[in-house]
Amino acid sequence: MTLWDLKQGTSATVESFCAALQGDYRTRLSELGFHPGEQIACVLSPSLGAPKLYRVNNTVYSLDDSVASLITVA
Amino acid sequence: MTSKTILIGSPNSGKSLLFNRLTGLNQKVANFPGITVNISSGKSIADPDQLVMDFPGVYSLRAISAEETVSVDAFYAGIKDPEISSVVCVVDTTRLEKGLIFALQVINACAEHNKPVVIAANMIDVLNSHGMTMDIDGLATALKVPVVAISAKSGLGLDQLQELIANHRQSPEPFSSNVLPRDMIATDDSVVHRQAQQLAASFGPKGDLLINSQTRLDQFFLHSWFGGISFVLIMFLLFQSIFTWAAPIMDGVEAILQFAAGVVIPLLPAGAISDFVSDALFGGIGAFLVFVPQIFILTLVVGMLEDSGYLARAAVICHKPLRIFGLTGKSFIPMLSSVACAIPGIYAARTVDSPRKRWLTYLAIPLMPCSARLPVYSLLIAAFIPATGVFGGVVGWQGLAMVSIYLFGILCGLLVTALVSRSSAALQTDLPFVLEMPPYRLPSWKPLLRNAWDRSKHFVTKAGKVIFMVTVVIWVLGYFPNQGADLGESWLGYMGKLIEPAFAPFGLDWKYGVAILTSFLAREVFVGTLGTLFGIEGGEENVISLVTHIQNSGLPIGAGFALLVFFSIALQCVSTLAVLRRETGSWRLPAQLFISYSIFAYAAAWLTFIIVQSIAG
């Protein structure tokens, strides 16, 4: 499943990035902590398709579907 | 000899606060990723020969947006500069791994250019308050550069840091962990990431640091209902504060000016000098000064929202709705900054990483209700809208009118971007939306008040100069050749009547025409010009407020509304055009915007006049 599918209050481990995600963005996401093997928790999933809040290490980021749906987690 | 130190770090690493600590300058401490786009510098308190330069916060030396490219290029230029004696890299110890990725990039870059590096391990007080600790010495040994545990907030460890800034002159070696060949280091990102991960695991704090209250606050502020309601409420309070609540201060300023005029003018010999002082100085410039309290309050409230961490949440809330209009949530900060002034708004648009979305944001920025429009709006609203209110006067009609005209400007901006973005498929594609949520915190009042004061002062001195010059020219043209006996027969009167037909369709006479023409230099000049013109015409009893003058001039209500609409659309700001030219690299966009928004403003004003006059009877 993708990071976007992750339910509020649950965690998963990053597996890979989809090919559609630009190289620059893969690097940046890795720098922010979203790299394969890292555990990510979805702390908030607002309704109406608004960007969701994810926690990695001790930081919270907001990601929208255009990026979160390109990260596969398990 | 003065030596210079570069201060660099990731957004929200506490870098700006450390800069304030080291220099005593109250540079603005913002709580939104990437808000510092200019390099500020200040002399070190401990050593006046040491100049500290605060570089914009970046996540990585591998830039992925225009704003980051500017900052990263500046950093590389800085470390090649022989005057730079050291680099301080600020790392947030509560998020060590992320900070170390950046620190390793900085160490490797500095090794290449022979610049000494010191790592400032910030927020050590937060670790301590959670009963945690980290191995500072171990990290220093592994990195082979000095690492100092500091707290920019409490001042802990700053003496040691200053000591190192002054004396540490040894260049670092490129970082290498013993498992990897040396030539892989600077180039391969994944290697740096792995190294940072290992270092953080070996020397970093172990445990959960995120405060649960942040999650609870996010659950409220980003809730589908409460979040939306609190957003609308916060924006509403923002606009109420700049109109209804600023009124007593504005009345105070006006009273002081009237008192000063009453004291000064009788002391002057009657004739041209006394007329000049009362019409041009008190009438023209005084009319503009009255509005400074509003600019102060607006800057203060926007700064407060920024500092509290709320603005990043507002960007999340706005992301989806803004996408309908072809923009992104990241456009929200530039657009809100433009409510204070379009110039910082245009700079803040660098944080919009997609070039197309940034270009669309530029289209919306000039239509955001900037504070230079505020004096014009305030004047016209005070002249045409009754000063009564609902709910016992807490919410005034004038405040509501102000909210409406502000919303009108914002709506026009969104409409333009929606239409333009739909004109091409390329403009609808977007880069991924990733935004760090800074921790919520109580705003620190001192820097906020200082910033609001600086902005107001800047506004008075910068706009004041233009207003003074325009006022003097207008006064001379209006006063001569007949010593103010008949304004209509003056040089200005003749010129004004030439252009009168252009403004006649929306019920304005030549005085307003002249004021509109001068306002193309800067919007607030409109108020000064009108003040001077009515001052000359008013003769002896001219020390009555400009609002009363307008009410007595018999201007139809439709013309008042037409003026409001005209000013909310037209791009009357030389500085905005110049900054847009600098940011986009050509005159193309500024010229297109100037011409199209002038035509749009004229047409909309004319339509407004017709509609309002037909309703008013």
pLDDT per residue as tens digits for the range B254-306: 888 888 888 888 888 877 788 888 777 776 677 667 767 877 887 788 788 88
Among A50, A62, A64, the residue with its CB nearest the CB of B437 is A62
Asked if the model's pLDDT at residue B521 lies above 80, the reply is no
Looking at residue A4, its pLDDT comes to 93
Looking at residue B540, its pLDDT comes to 43
Give yes or no for a contact between B146 and B206, defined as CB atoms under 8 angstroms apart. no
Looking at residue B181, its pLDDT comes to 44
Pairwise CB contact (< 8 Å): A31 & B218: no
Pairwise CB contact (< 8 Å): A28 & B60: yes
The CATH number of residue A23's host domain is 2.30.30.90
Give yes or no for a contact between B298 and B374, defined as CB atoms under 8 angstroms apart. yes
Asked if the model's pLDDT at residue B234 lies above 60, the reply is yes
Among B60, B101, B319, the residue with its CB nearest the CB of A64 is B319
The sheet with strand B434-437 has its strands ordered as A71-73, A11-17, A39-44, A52-56, A59-63, B434-437
pLDDT in tens, B525-554: 788 788 877 876 655 444 457 788 888 888
Domain count, chain A: 1
Asked if the model's pLDDT at residue B196 lies above 80, the reply is yes
pLDDT band with cut points at 50, 70 and 90 for residue B346: confident
Whole-angstrom distance, CA of residue B331 vs CA of residue B357:
8
pLDDT in tens, B66-125: 777 878 888 898 888 888 899 999 999 988 888 999 999 999 999 999 999 999 999 998
For B466, other C-beta atoms within 10 Å of its C-beta total 17
Pairwise CB contact (< 8 Å): B210 & A58: yes
Domain boundaries, chain B: 3-203
Q: What is the pTM for the complete model shown?
A: 0.76
pLDDT band with cut points at 50, 70 and 90 for residue B25: low
For B548, other C-beta atoms within 10 Å of its C-beta total 13
The yes/no answer to whether this complex scores an ipTM above 0.85 is: yes
Looking at residue B428, its pLDDT comes to 66
Q: How far is CA B212 from CA B92, B209, B215, B222, B440, in A?
A: 19, 9, 5, 15, 11
Which residue matches tokens 């609902």? B390
Residue in chain B nearest A23 by alpha carbon = B64
Q: How far is CA B48 from CA B2, B52, B81, in A?
A: 8, 10, 20
Residue-by-residue DSSP string for B481-511 = TTTTS-GGGSHHHHHHHHHHHHHGGGT--HH
Looking at residue B541, its pLDDT comes to 46
Chain B touched by A64 (CB under 8 Å): yes
Pairwise CB contact (< 8 Å): B437 & A49: no
Looking at residue B30, its pLDDT comes to 47
Whole-angstrom distance, CA of residue B127 vs CA of residue B129:
5
Q: How far is CA B604 from CA B263, B563, B564, in A?
A: 44, 10, 10
Chain B touched by A3 (CB under 8 Å): no
**Taking CB atoms and an 8 Å cutoff, what residues of chain A touch B97?**
33, 57
**Taking CB atoms and an 8 Å cutoff, what residues of chain A touch B433?**
51, 62-64, 66-67
Q: DSSP label at B50?
A: E
Whole-angstrom distance, CA of residue B318 vs CA of residue B1:
50
Whole-angstrom distance, CA of residue B429 vs CA of residue A65:
14
- The percent of residues above 90 in pLDDT, for chain B, comes to 22
Looking at residue B32, its pLDDT comes to 43
Residue in chain B nearest A30 by alpha carbon = B193
Residue-by-residue DSSP string for B348-398 = HGGG--SHHHHHHHHHHGGGS--TTHHHHHHHHHHHHS-S-EETTTTEEHH
In this prediction, residues B231-238 reach a mean pLDDT of: 86
**Taking CB atoms and an 8 Å cutoff, what residues of chain A touch B430?**
66
Looking at residue B31, its pLDDT comes to 44
Q: Are strands B84-92 and B3-9 parallel, antiparallel or unpaired?
A: parallel
In this prediction, residues A1-15 reach a mean pLDDT of: 92
The domain of A24 spans: 3-73
Diameter over CA atoms, chain B:
91
Cross-strand partners of A40? A12
pLDDT band with cut points at 50, 70 and 90 for residue B34: very low
Give yes or no for a contact between A50 and B319, defined as CB atoms under 8 angstroms apart. yes
Question: Three-state DSSP class for B6?
Answer: strand
Whole-angstrom distance, CA of residue B190 vs CA of residue B98:
13
Chain B interface disruption, residue of A14, A18, A38, A53, most B CBs within 10 A: A53
Give yes or no for a contact between B292 and B460, defined as CB atoms under 8 angstroms apart. yes
Backbone angles phi, psi at B173, to 5 degrees: -100, 155
Nearest to B146 by CA among B124, B170, B127: B170
Give the CA dihedral B107, B108, B112, B118, nearest 10 degrees: 0
User: Which residues lie below 8 Å from residue B552, measured CB to CB, with a gap of 6+?
Assistant: none
Size of interface A-B (CB pairs under 8 A): 115
For B610, other C-beta atoms within 10 Å of its C-beta total 15
pLDDT band with cut points at 50, 70 and 90 for residue B571: very high
Mean residue pLDDT across chain B: 82
For B181, other C-beta atoms within 10 Å of its C-beta total 8
| Lowest-confidence pick of B168-182, B327-341, B407-421, B428-442 | B168-182
Asked if the model's pLDDT at residue B567 lies above 60, the reply is yes
Which residue matches tokens 């990026």? A67
Nearest to B432 by CA among A61, A40, A45, A11: A61
Pairwise CB contact (< 8 Å): A51 & B208: no
Nearest to B101 by CA among B209, B31, B206, B204: B204
Chain A interface disruption, residue of B134, B330, B429, B433, most A CBs within 10 A: B433
Looking at residue B544, its pLDDT comes to 55
Give the dihedral sign, CA B410/B415/B418/B421.
negative
- Give the residue with greater pLDDT, B352 vs B284: B352
**Taking CB atoms and an 8 Å cutoff, what residues of chain B touch A33?**
97-98
Give the closest-approach CA distance of B16 to chain A in angstroms.
19
Backbone angles phi, psi at B390, to 5 degrees: -115, 170
Looking at residue B224, its pLDDT comes to 80
Instruction: Count H helices and E strands in chain B, helices first.
Output: 27, 9
In this prediction, residues B613-617 reach a mean pLDDT of: 84
In this prediction, residues B594-607 reach a mean pLDDT of: 94
Matching CATH number, B3-203, of 1.20.210.10, 3.40.50.300, 3.50.50.60, 1.10.150.120: 3.40.50.300
Question: Three-state DSSP class for B207?
Answer: coil
In this prediction, residues B438-457 reach a mean pLDDT of: 79
User: Which residues lie below 8 Å from residue B163, measured CB to CB, with a gap of 6+?
Assistant: none
Backbone angles phi, psi at B54, to 5 degrees: -90, 110
Asked if the model's pLDDT at residue B37 lies above 60, the reply is no
Looking at residue B186, its pLDDT comes to 42
Asked if the model's pLDDT at residue B183 lies above 50, the reply is no
Backbone angles phi, psi at B583, to 5 degrees: -75, -30
Spell out the SS3 assignment of B275-302.
HHHHHHHHHHHHHHHCCHHHHHHHHHHH
In this prediction, residues B469-492 reach a mean pLDDT of: 76
Residue in chain B nearest A71 by alpha carbon = B432
- The percent of residues above 70 in pLDDT, for chain B, comes to 89
Asked if the model's pLDDT at residue B36 lies above 60, the reply is no
